[in-house]
Each structure stands twice: as C-alpha cells, then as structure tokens.
C-alpha cells in the first residue's frame, strides 16, 4: 500500500514538472486618439507699466500732519494715474473670448 501511494505521488510530481510554466497572455491595449480643446491663456499685454513708488506706513508715521497730507495726496495722484493706464489694458484682456484660444497639444 505504501509503495502504491509513493508511486502515485511520484508520478503526480513528475507530471507537474513536465507541463512547464504557463505563458501569460499579452495585455490588450486599446488606444484611441482624441482631440480635446483646452482653453489656454493668451498673452494680451505686451508690457506692463511700472508700478509707482508709493510710501510705506513707516514713511507716513515719520512725518508731521501737513507732510503726511501732502504725501497722501501725491500717492493718490500717482495711484490714479497708474490705474488710468491699467484700465484699458485690463479691458482689452477681458474682451478676449476663451474659445478663441488655440487648442493645446496633448503629449
């Protein structure tokens, strides 16, 4: 009985060794090329005007009452002039529709 059991186990082991390793099937790749419109920013400004040099809080605290009023008025005028230059630039950029941008290349 022992010899029969041993023979069955040996024949099963030999049959398993003779079959060889299983080869995995190649993966299936399904590649689709699609064109996707992606809104991209468009440069609408050639040059941004230089920001005026405005006074800091320490500069204002160091002056007397009349000097501070004069400095604040000067800062107000500089800021108003700077905003007058920026407004047409910003309105020109805001007028560009998003759909007019070119589609981006997809790597």
| Residue with more model confidence, 18 or 93 | 93
Rounded CA-CA distance 57/52 in Å is 16
Whether 15 contacts 74, CB under 8 Å:
no
Continuous segment of H or E residues that includes residue 79: helix 65-94
Sign of the Cα torsion 84, 86, 89, 95 reads: negative
- 89: exposed, middle or buried (Cβ count in 10 Å: 0-12, 13-18, 19+): middle
pTM here is 0.46
55 falls in which pLDDT band (50, 70, 90)? confident
In the predicted model, is pLDDT for residue 26 greater than 90? no
Q: What is the pLDDT of residue 105?
A: 55
């Amino acid at each position: 009985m022992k010899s029969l059991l041993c023979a069955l186990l040996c024949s099963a082991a030999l049959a398993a060794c003779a079959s060889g390793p299983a080869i995995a099937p190649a993966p299936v790749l399904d590649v689709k090329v699609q064109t996707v419109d992606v809104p991209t920013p468009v440069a609408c400004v050639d040059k941004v005007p230089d920001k005026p040099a405005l006074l800091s809080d320490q500069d204002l605290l160091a002056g007397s009452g009349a000097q501070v009023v004069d400095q604040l008025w000067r800062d107000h005028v500089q800021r108003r002039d700077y905003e007058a230059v920026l407004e047409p630039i910003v309105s020109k950029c805001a007028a560009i529709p998003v759909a007019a941008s070119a589609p981006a290349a997809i790597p």
